Amino acid sequence: MSKPKPDPERMSLEQFERMFPNEEKCIMALEDKLWGGILSSPIDGNTNVIRIKGKPGYYRDLDNRCTFTIKQGTIFEGSKLGLKVWFRAIYEYCVSPNGISSYELARRLGVTQKTAWFMKHRMSENIRQCRDIVMDGEVEADECYVGGTDFYRKEGSKWHSTQGNRGDKAVLFGLLCRNGLLYAEVVEDCRAETLFNVIKGKIADGGRFYTDDAPQYDLTSDNLIHEVVNHSGKVWKSGAACTNGIENFWKHQKSTIRGTYMSVSRFHLQRYVDEKAWRFNTRKMGGRSRFNFFLSLLASGRTLPYENLICPDRPLYEYGSRKGERLRGRMKDLIYN
- Gap between the Cα atoms of 311 and 290, Å rounded: 31
- CA–CA distance from 260 to each of 85, 135, 264 (Å)? 22, 30, 10
Tell me, what's the pLDDT at 45? 87
Say how far apart CA 211 and CA 217 lie, in whole Å: 7
- 158 near 177, Cβ under 8 Å? no
Bridge partners of residue 275, in order along the sequence: none
Rounded-to-integer distance, Cα 75 and Cα 125, Å: 8
SS3 category, 67? strand
Q: What angle do CA 320, 322, 323 make, to 5 degrees?
A: 120
- Cβ atoms 99, 276 nearer than 8 A: yes
Per-residue pLDDT in tens (0 to 9) along the chain, 337 residues: 566 666 778 889 999 999 999 999 999 999 999 998 899 998 888 999 999 999 999 999 999 999 999 999 999 999 999 999 999 999 999 999 899 999 999 999 999 999 999 999 999 999 999 888 889 889 999 999 887 666 666 676 665 555 545 566 789 999 999 988 999 999 988 888 888 888 887 888 888 889 998 888 887 666 788 889 988 888 898 888 899 999 999 999 989 998 899 888 888 999 999 999 999 999 999 999 999 999 999 998 899 999 989 887 766 544 444 444 444 433 333 332 2
pLDDT at residue 190, rounded to an integer: 86
Is there a contact between 335 and 257 (Cβ–Cβ < 8 Å)? yes
Distance CA(219)–CA(226), nearest Å, equals 10
Q: Hey, is 211 helix, strand or coil?
A: strand
The whole-angstrom separation of Cα 26 and Cα 81 is 13
DSSP of 133-198: --B-SEEEEEEEEES--GGGS-GGG---S-GGG-TTPEEEEEEEETTS-EEEEEES---HHHHHHH
Backbone angles phi, psi at 226, to 5 degrees: -100, 120
User: Any residues with CB less than 8 A from the CB of 203 and at least 6 apart, and which?
Assistant: 134, 135, 136, 139, 175, 209, 221, 224
